[in-house]
Amino acid sequence: MSAVDRAEAAAALGWHVLPCGADKRPIGKLVPRGLKDATTDLDTIRAWWEKRPDALPGVVAGPSGLAIADFDVTGGKDGLGALTRLGYALPPTWRQRTPSGGSHAWYAAPAGVELPNGTADLFEKGSGIDRRTGESYAILYAAPPASIDDLTPAPDWLIAARERTATVARGTDADVDTFRARLTAGKPSKPVRKALGRFWPRDMSHADMLEAVADLVRLGQAGHPGVAKAVDEARETYAHGWGAEYESHFDKALAGSVRRFGLPLVTFKLTKGDKRAIAARHAARAAEPPRPEPMSLTACHDAFRGWLGTDYDLGALDAVLAAAVIERMDGDPAWLLLISGSGNAKTETVQSLAGAGAHVVSAIASEGALLSATSKGERSANATGGLLHEIGKSGILVPKDVTSMLSMDRTARGQVFAALREVYDGHWIRNVGTDGGRSLEWKGRLVVIGAVTTAWDRAHADTISAFGDRFVVVRMDSTTGRIAAGRKAIGNTGSEDAMRAELAAAAAGVLEGADLRAEGPDDDESARILAAADLVTLARTAVDVDYRGNVIDSHAPEMPTRFAKQLAQIFRGGMAIGLARGDALALAIRVARDSMPPLRLEILEDVAANEWTPLRDVVKRVDKPRSTVDRQLQALDLLGLLTKDDEVTVTGMSLRETTTWRYSLAPGIDVASIALTTPARPTTTTKKGKS
């Protein structure tokens, strides 16, 4: 991975990057403010590396939420060896080797605790352990981890608020000074008081003094509190009996015992705030649920078909999982709606994402449900209400009953979907309240996956397409396997909780085991996806009708750019969850087909198969009312997908002229781009149990 690729990958994790020279110093011409210019903005990062392709990516610890331990091996230092000698463990985390032979251990810094800036030679001079926290940085020599979840919370020895040991000189006095600096404060413990009691003001022999001093040093080395005070009292007691000149005897005995037994382990005198923060961090760590067990896509298919029947649509499940896994990957999200008739397991499918931490709600009733302040005029200075505040900067939102959102009045529905459009773009400001009001702001990256009935198609024609569609669609057929599905539902009666728990675990397992570095489409696959996106976005463009329902005008056609990116993300998501390339492409094409209004799709494919066809024949083949088919043909003609020719015939003795409109595909329109392919499906087994 090149330096710029490493920099971009780090920025995708939220790490603040800056360019550094071969000397590992920030390049002043590119970042004149030094560490303050570090950023996660990809455009800025690319511009830097265009100017200096040889630059090394540096990552600033503080704003990136990192605490980095740098273990040096130059100049006779051995950082890892020193850590072991001092008695501290190195929790496993993501690590990288440095060109000099040392290593960096990257940890997640605790939230809400302001850490000190970087420190060289932590613990003692020459330790070879450097701390990179706060306003300090480290060079990123290797490809960063796929996720910040690969980072372990920082150990307490790395994030102590203060340096524990001052620099000392060599020699006997220095050893004693270091010993005293590391002693545990507090009142003398019972063993320390007992050891102090061995000192007498008179007639204490030199041998007894040596043994008693050794006891005190051993207790100090073991971490007993109060040894420093006891040593001072013992020295005074011993000298009082023999004279001040004997203080030097005591000092030599103390220095000898320190060299013999060694120094105490470093202890940290944290502030009360530090202690509360560390306790809260450990409590949160203990409260975190265990990570889901990774599961193969085949095993997940088995679980869903075991509960929902052999006719259950696995392709729809794959689309939901592919859209969901993009939340953990980079790039713009692909929002997805699962459309079907009522009772076709669409709710069970989307709400299974709760097992992976998705925020499942019934519906989004208003703008305030997304982002709100308080119920008292929404004037709070610290607004924390609404789904977006609950979810945070990233996550998955699952409205499992979008149909009820469509039943709202046109104005309310339009406001909600207009707000969702802003949320999709990653930044929404909502103005609320009275008495001058205030602005509520949200920034982040959200994936929305919902379930809805075919009421979506009518709402799409009336309202949603006018706002710029942000959803891709996958449809489940509710006309097949009806009796088998009903029989399966009856068999599951009483086991619904167990079913939902197993389906949630299966969905979470697939997402947990996903390959987050999955590749996107190649050139040929991209060309197929782009052709499909171009056709679908043109065909789903809204049209205006008059009071009789006749088509009179069309809106400006939607460009294929966003939709093509969404389909490419579905492809990537399919690859990530374990689909083969052909199956991932077939899934993206299915989503493209399903995102087109169904009747327009049916009519387009009918005309493609029957060129220069009259209205009456199309009506017979699609089996829909004549007026309905006529309006859709008019719409497709107005949008440039079909061409209309007038065929004039003369009939009867009166030579009456009759004009028939005949339709053909417009030049350049190729419905083969959205032709269905049959992906290879892994064999599934039947679930034992209820049926």
- Distance in angstroms (rounded) separating the CA atoms of residues 433 and 383: 11
Answer yes or no: are the C-beta atoms of 89 and 155 closer than 8 Å. Answer: yes
Q: Is 408 helix (H, G, I), strand (E, B) or coil?
A: coil
Q: What is the pLDDT of residues 382-412, one digit of tens each?
A: 445 688 988 888 999 999 999 999 888 888 8
Whether 278 is in a domain gets the answer: no
> Among residues 514, 539, 555, which one ends one of the domains?
514
Residue 259 — pLDDT band, cuts 50, 70, 90?
confident
Range with lowest mean pLDDT among 20-29, 356-365, 380-389, 446-455: 380-389
Please tell me the distance from the alpha carbon of residue 432 to that of residue 437, in angstroms, as a whole number: 5
CB–CB of 423/387 below 8 Å? no
**Residues 469 and 548 both lie in one domain:** no
Taking Cα atoms as reference points, which of 513, 457, 425 lies closest to residue 628?
457
Which of 624, 577, 580 has the alpha carbon at shortest distance from 600?
Answer: 624
> What's the pLDDT band for 118 if we cut at 50, 70, 90?
confident
SS3 668: coil
Query: Phi, psi at residue 296, to the nearest 5°?
Result: -75, 160
The CATH number of whichever domain residue 332 belongs to comes to: 3.40.50.300
Residues 6+ apart with CB under 8 A from 187: 225, 226
> Do residues 465 and 523 share a domain?
no
Q: β-strand 656-665 against 642-651: which pairing, if any?
A: antiparallel
Nearby residues of 437 by Cβ (< 8 Å), 6 or more positions away: 378, 379, 431
List of residues 6+ apart from 309 with CB closer than 8 A: 481, 484, 485, 487, 488
Percent of the chain with pLDDT over 70: 87
Which helix (DSSP H) or strand (DSSP E) does residue 210 occupy?
A: helix 206-221
Give the sign of the dihedral formed by CA 228, CA 234, CA 235, CA 240. positive
Q: In sequence order, which residues have a C-beta less than 8 Å from that of residue 620 and are 6 or more positions away?
A: none
Where is the domain boundary, 486, 514, 542?
A: 514
The pairing of beta strand 427-432 with beta strand 438-443:
antiparallel
Compute CA 582 distance to the chain's CA centroid, rounded to the nearest angstrom: 27
DSSP 186: S
Tell whether 454 is covered by a domain.
Answer: yes
Task: Flag whether 190 is in a domain.
Answer: yes
Which residue among 474, 491, 514 closes a domain? 514
Q: Give how many domains the chain has, as a whole number.
A: 4
In the predicted structure, residue 433 carries a pLDDT above the cut 70: no
Cα 575 to Cα 521: distance, rounded to the nearest angstrom: 10
Q: Are residues 540 and 469 in the same domain?
A: no
Nearest CA to 618 among 553, 664, 567? 664
Crossing angle of helices 523-539 and 598-609, in 10° steps, is 110
Q: Are 174 and 168 in contact (CB under 8 A)?
A: yes
Residues 6+ apart with CB under 8 A from 424: 333, 335, 446, 448, 470
CA 81 – CA 593 distance, rounded (Å): 61
pLDDT of residue 286: 47
Q: Contact 599/622 with Cβ under 8 angstroms?
A: yes
Q: Tens of pLDDT along 39-93? A: 999 999 999 999 999 999 999 998 898 999 999 888 888 888 888 877 778 888 8
For residue 133, tell me if it sits in a domain: yes
List beta partners, residue 68: 106, 132
Instruction: Give the helix/strand (H/E) hosting 404.
Output: helix 402-406
The answer to whether residue 548 is domain-embedded is yes
Regarding whether 310 and 232 lie in a shared domain, the answer is no
Residue type, 552: I
| pLDDT value at 281 more than 60 | no
Q: How many CA atoms lie within 13 A of 474 on its CB side?
A: 29
Q: Between residues 471 and 270, which one has the greater pLDDT?
A: 471
Same domain, 302 and 448: yes
pLDDT at 545: 80
Helix residue spans in 610-654 (DSSP H): 615-622, 626-638
Q: Report the C-alpha gap between 652 and 658 in whole angstroms.
A: 11
Residue 77 has which token pair?
A: 């230092």
For 252: left if phi > 0, alpha if psi spans -120 to 50, otherwise beta; the answer is alpha
Q: In the beta sheet, which residues pair with residue 553?
A: 544
* Claim to verify: residue 566 and residue 453 sit in the same structural domain: no
Q: Which residues contact 297 (CB under 8 A, 6 or more apart)?
A: 318, 321, 510, 577, 578, 579, 682
Among the listed residues 595, 575, 597, the one whose alpha carbon sits nearest the alpha carbon of residue 585: 575
Same domain, 506 and 365: yes
415 three-class SS: helix
Q: How far apart are CA 633 and CA 635, in angstroms?
A: 5
Residue 276 domain-assigned?
no
* Euclidean distance between CA atoms 514 and 315, whole angstroms: 17
What are the two backbone dihedrals, phi and then psi, of residue 302, each rounded to the nearest 5 degrees?
-60, -45
pLDDT at residue number 660: 87
Region 540-566: mean pLDDT is 86
What pLDDT digit, counting tens, does each position of 571-620 carry?
999 999 999 999 999 999 999 999 999 999 999 999 999 999 999 999 99
Structure token digits, residue 364 = 């989004």
- In which residue are the tokens 């931490």 written? 357
3-state helix, strand, coil in the chain (%, to 5): 45, 15, 40
Question: Of the candidates 336, 327, 351, 563, which has an alpha carbon nearest to the alpha carbon of residue 426?
Answer: 327
Helices H, strands E: what count in the chain? Answer: 26, 19
Residue 523 and residue 505 share a domain: no
- CA of 638: how far to CAs of 313, 641, 642, 644, in Å? 35, 8, 8, 10
Report which DSSP code applies to 26.
B
Instruction: Specify whether 18 is located in the same domain as 143.
Output: yes
Same domain, 132 and 177: no
* Lowest-confidence pick of 57-61, 217-221, 322-326, 345-349: 217-221
- The residue-averaged pLDDT of 311-331 equals 96
Smallest CA-to-CA distance from 447 within 428, 426, 464, 461 is with 426
What local confidence, expressed as pLDDT, does residue 109 receive? Answer: 85
Q: What's the CA gap between 318 and 574, in Å, rounded?
A: 7
- Tell whether 547 and 437 lie within a shared domain: no
pTM score of the predicted model: 0.60
Is 281 among the domain residues?
no
In this structure, the answer to whether residues 68 and 187 fall within a common structural domain is no
* Residue numbers of the domain that contains 39: 3-150
Q: What is the pLDDT of residue 92?
A: 87
Neighbour-count burial of 666, counting CB atoms closer than 10 A to its CB (0-12 exposed, 13-18 middle, 19+ buried) = middle
Q: Is residue 43 part of a domain?
A: yes
Tell me the one-letter amino acid at 198.
Answer: R
- Residue 659's domain is classified under what CATH number? 1.10.10.10
The overall average pLDDT reported for the chain is 85
pLDDT digits 0-9 by tens, 22-39:
989 999 899 988 888 999
Confidence category of residue 680, pLDDT binned at 50, 70, 90? very low
Give the CA angle between residues 66, 67, 72 to the nearest 5°.
130
604: which residues sit within 8 A by CB, 6+ positions away?
Answer: 539, 636, 641, 642, 665, 669, 671
Residue with tokens 């005190």: 216
Which long-range CB contacts under 8 A does 642-648 form with residues at least 24 apart? 642/604, 642/607, 642/666, 642/669, 643/667, 645/612, 647/614
